Amino acid sequence: MNVLIGHGLFDLITPHFGSKMALDQLLPFASERRVKFVVYRGGHMFYSRVAPSLRAETDAMMK
End-to-end CA distance of the chain: 13
pTM of the model: 0.76
Would you say residue 35 has pLDDT above 90? no
* Distant-in-sequence, close-in-space partners of 32: CB < 8 Å, separation ≥ 6: none
Where along the chain do its domains lie? 3-61
Measured from the Cβ of residue 44, the count of other Cβ atoms closer than 10 Å reads 14
Q: Is the pLDDT of residue 63 over 70?
A: no
Helix/strand/coil for 49 = coil
Per-residue pLDDT at 50 exceeds 90: no
Q: How many helices (H) and strands (E) does the chain have?
A: 2, 2
Rg over alpha carbons for the chain, rounded to the nearest Å, is: 12
